[in-house]
Structure 1
Amino acid sequence: MTSSLDRHAHIAKLRSHRLPVPDAEVQEVLAELDDSGLLAEIEPLVHAPTGRRRKLAVQALLLGMCLAAARNTGTVTLTSVANTLFFTLSDQAREQLGIPRYPDHSQGFEAAYGVVRRLFHRIVKAVDPSPLPKNHRIDRDLVARLLSEADPDELARKRSIMLRIANLILAMSLRDAHVLLEGRWNGSAALDATVIGTYAKGLSSNSPVTASDPEAGWYIRTAKHKDPLVTDGPAQDRVKKRLFGYDACLVVARDPDHDGAPLPDGSADPDVVPSLVVAFSLDKPSHRPAEVALEALRHVDARYPRGYLAGDRLYPDQKPHKFQLPIRALGYQPVYDYAKDQLGVQAQFAGAELIEGNWYCPSMPQPLKDATKDLVDKKIDKQTWINRIRQRTTHLFMPKQRTDAEGHRRMMCPAEANRVQCPLKTYTLGRGIHLPLIDPAPSPVGPPTACAQRTITIPPEAGAQLWQPLQYGTEDWQRVYFRLRNAIEGMNGFGKDPLYERLEYGGTRRIRGIAAQAILLAFQLAHANKRKLTTWAGSIALNGHRPHRRPTRRRKTKPLGSWTPEGYLTEPSK
């Protein structure tokens, strides 16, 4: 039998096997922190002119959180931060940061942990946009009273600071990729809300008390969420997924002009930067989706360009003044797919008709107007739909001038653009039999403005909810929309990998409250970015040498132009 003395010796040996942190890594992280702007943002929040001197600086705490995230696939726990700072740094590094020494036993560790915990919760309290206490269940009447007594302006200010700090943490992961993004990314991005769990247990909505994480809520996915073309019937009510937590609205950068396929030698293309999370926001599931999306977009680095912005069918359903017009003011051009009740003619302006996001001649044949509706209703086959989408191009209103600073744009009808011949504009007749002849319907009040004038000026408010610059269903639209949507779906799956960041699992963020969740999630997203960049860089053949690893194998996909709202054609179109 092993003696007690031998057993203690073995345990002491195991405890001594902590991996020390190299000084070079410490200095590298400190340099990143200095460049990030985090210290300038956080220090004023916790500065106290009176009282006892803090035993740990903000710089040291952030260093410990960065090191802990790097060693634990993005997961930051305060115990790992305390262990890293007080027991794995060299004496020189601790002296440089002013970290006190504690003995390596239970009482010493608890003292070190208390120092870390107090400073972290002090930061969280300073940026918490909720007046509700955490870690225990609260009576609903008390919740109502606390919310009514809170200052909404102060809560909004704290939320703004919370998101700014979280996005500064995320931006640290893009430090080495910034030059690549500036030179090889056109500013296009995808937007999506992905659910992340919380460590608290969710309660029923009619419960007399709240959960111990009172800002979280239930995420419920039904069949309608999976297939928004389902608009009625019992199928839409089937629950596919239920999770108590938050919605993280991610902005993922992706250049849709490049497909990211491996080069002929099998290595990754160095000119195609992988999809990366460049900003995010956090809130209750399905709570203020438009406002939360705009919060995330406003935290995209101002140095980056602005391009196309793709979102799922949730976003065309928002109020224009809350989402569509603000994103255009930010410089983005929306790219949408549509639900069943958003197909066909949805708006008119000066006679022009908005059909699936684009302005068309009012005399366009009805079968072309109803092409997508007929496909969804199974009145036509997929090849017929593709042919009609291509025929729509002839009847499209074309830009006459660039959009002005206020979003107004001068447009000309297809007859003025030399695409068709129109009897209402006799000077367009006789241009050749290759141009279709428009057959306008007679009207007792005369032709609409678009048919009586050479051009019309379309304001940004006209059809703003569903408008998009690319013609719906065309190969250009498919290229942009699907590459952007694939980018964010791929990033969601990448970050939720159970072997790495496990974003969806609440056990990786065990501190309750939206402020703590936002900060801890930022470290996980930053780790996912760094992991993806490392994988990409390792797949590139530098200076003619073989790459360190093979790039991700690509499945064969159907060619652009063969997609329909219900899938792909059996045979590619010719």
Structure 2
Amino acid sequence: MTETPLQVPDAIVAHFDALLTETGVIELIADEVGDRPGPDGLPIRTVLLGLLISIHYTGKATLAEAWRLMTFSLTPTMREQHHLPDVDPADPHAQLASSRRFYRTFDTATTALDLDRVDRRTRLPPKDADAYAAAWDDDDPEHQRKRALLQDIVTRLVLTPVHRARGRGYLAHYGSDVGIDATAIPTWATPPRTRKSTGEHLASIEITAGWHYSGGDGPPTFGYSATLATAARTHDHVGHHPQLALGLVIDTPHRRIGPAAITTLTGIAPLGLPTGTIAVDRAYTDQKTEHFAQPARALGYKLALDYKVDQRGL
């Protein structure tokens, strides 16, 4: 943990720092956090920057890896710029204090953004867990506002690189087609279980997680569903373009399938990209027309749907 596997160049840090600034999410989160009591922690920018750098180098967005890279792999200039004090690699107490400060900053942000904060260090009875989870589905105005804010943060993080790519001409040959699909995001939390000693039913600490069933005969994944919209590429189109993610919605598996897809398409609209054909699988074919097909067509898209043989009417 104390060895330095790499040194992150200042240019890489500056690149992701500028990307964060361009998204505007720092201000959104800061406004939500406000002036909270207690000692000053690290800037939320520092923690988010660490997560982006962690994804870049390791493919993982974990706080442990983000803290390690920000603490031991940045140059002294960058550490000072992002309010990171020097930590002695041989001093475990200094490392612990530094990592806790890093973690607390992230916890402050998630506490402010959470709809109904729940202690995720212990399992709750299903009835109590369901009461907290209901905040993600109800009509409470404050809950609706926070759900919209969270989606806004996600959309900004996804679309800012797309804005950059378009400005640099990378999408000049984009043929306007979009592919939409839901993929599983596993959680480290274990599923609901029954306590052997008492027979008591206990919920997962991830109270809004569920079982994601993919096509095929494979086992389900316990976690969340990520609805992704990507810039599709067809064989007959002249030129090439990056198959960028154009939208992302994370939700409990198999909930709001059609509306989640429409949310990704609505986020794309301000880019001013041409609208072509949407390719989707049977999960979207089975949706009520008012949940997917009608609003998708209203946005200007044609639909390429997947039907079973006995559904084609031939």
Does TM, normalized by the shorter one, top 0.5? Answer: yes
> Is 2:51–2:66's contact at 8 Å kept on the other side of the alignment?
yes
Alpha-carbon RMSD across the aligned residues, in angstroms, is 2.8
Q: Could you say what secondary structure the match of 2:306 adopts? A: coil
> Is 1:193–1:249's contact at 8 Å kept on the other side of the alignment?
yes
Q: Look up the match of 1:78.
A: 63
TM-score, L = length of structure 2? 0.85
Q: Could you say what secondary structure the match of 1:246 adopts? A: strand
Question: Which residue of 76, 86, 99 maps to 1:101?
Answer: 86
Q: Look up the match of 1:91.
A: 76
Q: Look up the match of 1:118.
A: 104
Q: Look up the match of 2:186.
A: 197
Task: Kindly state the Cα deviation for residue 272 of structure 1 after the two structures are TM-superposed.
Answer: 0.8
> Is 2:246–2:264's contact at 8 Å kept on the other side of the alignment?
no
> Is 1:192–1:311's contact at 8 Å kept on the other side of the alignment?
yes
- The structure with the largest alpha-carbon Rg is 1
> Is 2:192–2:201's contact at 8 Å kept on the other side of the alignment?
no
Per-residue CA distance 1:340-367 (angstroms, 9 max, x = gap): 45322xxxxxxxxxxxxxxxxxxxxxxx
Counterparts of 1:392-407 in structure 2 under 5 Å? none
Change in CA separation of 1:243 and 1:207 when aligned onto 2, cut-off 3 Å: farther
Q: CA separation in 2, counterparts of 1:140 and 1:16? A: 43
Change in CA separation of 1:196 and 1:113 when aligned onto 2, cut-off 3 Å: same
Per-residue CA distance 1:95-116 (angstroms, 9 max, x = gap): 2223233333211111111111
Q: Look up the match of 2:26.
A: 39
Question: Which residue of 134, 146, 151 maps to 1:158?
Answer: 146
Q: Which amino acid aligns with 2:259?
A: E
Change in CA separation of 1:28 and 1:288 when aligned onto 2, cut-off 3 Å: closer
Q: Look up the match of 1:169.
A: 157
Task: Kindly state the Cα deviation for residue 16 of structure 1 after the two structures are TM-superposed.
Answer: 5.0
Q: Does 1:299 align with 2:287?
A: no
Q: CA separation in 2, counterparts of 1:302 and 1:173? A: 14
Change in CA separation of 1:196 and 1:256 when aligned onto 2, cut-off 3 Å: same
Change in CA separation of 1:301 and 1:325 when aligned onto 2, cut-off 3 Å: closer
Counterparts of 1:549-560 in structure 2 under 5 Å? none
> Is 1:280–1:299's contact at 8 Å kept on the other side of the alignment?
no
Q: Could you say what secondary structure the match of 2:176 adopts? A: coil
Q: Which amino acid aligns with 2:103?
A: R
Q: Percent identity?
A: 26
> Is 1:249–1:280's contact at 8 Å kept on the other side of the alignment?
yes
Question: Which residue of 203, 208, 212 maps to 1:210?
Answer: 203
Q: Could you say what secondary structure the match of 1:241 adopts? A: coil
- Structure 1 residues without counterparts, runs of 5 or longer: 1-13, 227-238, 261-270, 345-371, 373-574
> Is 2:171–2:242's contact at 8 Å kept on the other side of the alignment?
no
Task: Kindly state the Cα deviation for residue 64 of structure 1 after the two structures are TM-superposed.
Answer: 1.4
Q: Does 1:183 align with 2:172?
A: yes
Q: Could you say which structure has the greater relative contact order, defined with CA pairs below 8 angstroms and 6 or more residues apart?
A: 1
Q: Does 1:25 align with 2:12?
A: yes
Q: Does 1:335 align with 2:304?
A: yes
Q: Look up the match of 1:136.
A: 122
Change in CA separation of 1:57 and 1:318 when aligned onto 2, cut-off 3 Å: same
Q: Which amino acid aligns with 1:198?
A: T
Whose helix fraction is larger, Structure 1's or Structure 2's? 2
Task: Kindly state the Cα deviation for residue 19 of structure 1 after the two structures are TM-superposed.
Answer: 2.1
Q: Could you say what secondary structure the match of 2:188 adopts? A: coil
> Is 2:213–2:219's contact at 8 Å kept on the other side of the alignment?
yes
Q: Which amino acid aligns with 1:215?
A: T
Task: Kindly state the Cα deviation for residue 210 of structure 1 after the two structures are TM-superposed.
Answer: 0.8
> Is 2:111–2:117's contact at 8 Å kept on the other side of the alignment?
no
Q: Could you say what secondary structure the match of 1:192 adopts? A: strand
> Is 1:135–1:213's contact at 8 Å kept on the other side of the alignment?
no
Change in CA separation of 1:107 and 1:310 when aligned onto 2, cut-off 3 Å: same
Q: Does 1:317 align with 2:282?
A: no
Question: Which residue of 220, 238, 247 maps to 1:242?
Answer: 220
Task: Kindly state the Cα deviation for residue 78 of structure 1 after the two structures are TM-superposed.
Answer: 1.2
Q: How many residues align?
A: 305
> Is 2:171–2:241's contact at 8 Å kept on the other side of the alignment?
no
> Is 1:128–1:155's contact at 8 Å kept on the other side of the alignment?
no
- Structure 2 residues without counterparts, runs of 5 or longer: none
Task: Kindly state the Cα deviation for residue 141 of structure 1 after the two structures are TM-superposed.
Answer: 2.4
> Is 1:251–1:277's contact at 8 Å kept on the other side of the alignment?
yes
Task: Kindly state the Cα deviation for residue 51 of structure 1 after the two structures are TM-superposed.
Answer: 2.9
